[in-house]
Structures are given as structure tokens and as C-alpha cells.
Amino acid sequence: MSRLTSLIFLTFLYCSASYAYTDIEEGQQKLLTKAGKLEPLNPWESAVLYCKAARNGSLEAYYRLGMLFAFGQGVPENREVAASLFATAAQQGHSEAGKMLETILYSSDKLPDCVLSNTKPPRGQLYSRGFNDATLDAVLSSLRKDRHWIINMVKQIASWHQVDPRLALSIVSVESAFQVNARSKANAMGLMQLIPSTATRFSVRDAFDASQNVKGGVRYLRWLLDRYNGDIELVAAAYNAGEGAVDKYKGIPPYPETQNYVNKVIHRYQSRRHAFNLGKL
């Protein structure tokens, strides 16, 4: 083989390897993006994707999967596994993983099976029956510590507007899973998923500002509670489908999405009547 032929061959190999590496990176990024969108609503499914990305060598996936195990989001809380994931990423230069490794105060080399082989991660207790079946107390107790300020804020704003804080928290948990920047395909925004017309109606200038969003959503809840005399089924149905739909059908509209939504809220709140209207609070 001539020197020129050898050079061409080596150049071809280098370019092929570069393209393959780029494809792998792009594939990992797609997995991370998809998993990030899933995490607020179904963290176990996002853990499945993080495991796959980690098997492909993504340091970010190691870090994110470590966060899920550290706080028991979708998977069982396991500080040993979390520490191992953080350590693996930190050793290769992931700074945030390094910070978490210092915070978690644990050392381990026990990586989860889903990173070592093509298996799925274990399901956390909250998600063994499905996230939608969880009561409000179960949801709040599983919430990451960095989101506890949202709970306190919702409680305070709800009490100011004579709305049972547990109802407001139930709505937030179903609507956005406590994600401040959540946005739906219908352009519902923020913690209480306000659509633009509702945001305008209740003087919310920035729907992604947590306090503005919750204030607007709680004011809407208070308005619906007055309109439907504290009937949580009708309030939840109207919050999801609009009061026009509830009035049209004189009850819960025959929309599967709305009916499922009402069931979730009732299960979270554990009551069909508003506590204030029952004189309990």
C-alpha cells in the first residue's frame, strides 16, 4: 500500500470514527432531552432512559440518575447507588456530580444493574402502583428537598384566599408535578398550568413566575369554589375543561381526559367537598 493510499485510508477511518462519535453524542442528547421532559410526570420512565444513556457513556445521565436515587424519585431511595453514580461522573470531570458527592457524604462503587446491563431500574414505592394513584401526603413526602419552598408558598397563598391549602397542592401536583417551568402542548404554563386567557383574567403577567402563577391559579380556584358551592368534582372539572363545558353538560364533561383528571384530584384531596365550605377550617 502506497503512502498516499495509507493516508487516504487513515483519513477515512478518522472521519468515520468522528461521525460515529457525533451520532452517539446526538443520540445521548435526545435521550437526555426526552428523559428531562418525562421526569416531572413519570420519573421512573426517565430513569429508564438515563440508564440507557449512562450505558452509552453519558456523564450527565450518571448525574441525573444519581439524583433520582438520592431523593427516591421514581426509583427506591438508595444513597449507596447514588454515591456510586456521582463518583463515576465526578471522576471524569462532572462538577455538579462532584458537589453532590460531597453533599451526600457517602462512598460506594455499587452501580445499579441498569447501568451495567440492559435491564430496567427498580421502581420506587410511590410508583409501584403508578404516580396517578398516589395520595397527596405520599406525593409531598417524596418531593425533593429543593422543591419544599413551593409547598410552603402554595400553603401561604391558598390560606390568604380562603382556599384549603391541600386542595391547591393537589391541583399543583396533578397539573405540573411541582415544576415551575412546566408547559403543556396546549400552552398551559407554570405550577398551576395557566393558559394565557386565564393568566390574563387573573392579572398574571408572568406565568412562569412561581408566586404570580400560584396566586392566579388559587384565585381561579376560589372563583370556581364559589360558583360550584365547594363541589370539588365540578371545580376540578372546570379547572381542567373550563366552566363553560361543566355548565353545558351540567356536570363533569364526558371527556376521558377531564374524567381522569377529576379522579386524580379527588384521590389526592381525599374529599368531594371543600373543607372551608364544610366549616372545617
d(CA 86, CA 79): 10
pLDDT in tens, the chain (281 residues): 555 454 444 444 444 433 333 445 777 888 898 888 777 667 888 899 999 999 999 999 999 999 889 877 789 889 899 999 999 999 999 998 988 888 777 888 899 999 999 999 998 764 444 445 578 988 898 888 889 999 999 999 999 999 999 999 999 999 999 999 999 888 999 999 999 999 999 999 999 999 999 999 999 999 999 999 999 999 999 999 999 999 999 999 999 889 989 989 998 998 889 966 544 43
What is the pLDDT at residue 229? 93
Q: What is the enclosing helix (H) or strand (E) of 164?
A: none
d(CA 181, CA 147): 13
What is the pLDDT at residue 4? 46
Distances 137 to 62, 98, 169, 207 between C-alpha atoms, Å: 29, 32, 10, 26
How many Cα atoms are found within 13 Å in the side-chain-facing hemisphere of 229? 0
Task: Classify 20 as helix, strand or coil.
Answer: helix
Q: What is the DSSP letter of 257?
A: H
Check for a shared fold between 3-127 and 134-269: no
Distances 201 to 102, 177, 216, 223, 238 between C-alpha atoms, Å: 47, 24, 9, 12, 15
Q: What is the DSSP letter of 75?
A: S
**Phi-psi category of residue 156: left, alpha or beta, with phi > 0 → left and psi -120 to 50 → alpha:** alpha
**Residue with the three cell numbers 478518522:** 14
Q: Domain ranges in the chain? A: 3-127, 134-269
What is the pLDDT at residue 218? 98
CATH code of the domain occupying 3-127: 1.25.40.10
Q: What is the enclosing helix (H) or strand (E) of 245?
A: helix 243-249
**Residue with the three cell numbers 393558559:** 195
CATH code of the domain occupying 134-269: 1.10.530.10
Cell of 194: 395557566
What is the pLDDT at residue 41? 66
What is the pLDDT at residue 187? 93
d(CA 116, CA 20): 22
CB–CB of 154/139 below 8 Å? no
Encoded amino acid at 98, one letter: G
pTM above 0.75, yes or no: no
Enzyme catalytic residues:
175
What is the pLDDT at residue 279? 42
Given CA atoms 83, 89, 90, 94 in this order, what sign does their dihedral have? Answer: negative
CB–CB of 207/213 below 8 Å? yes
* Cβ count near 112 (within 10 Å): 24
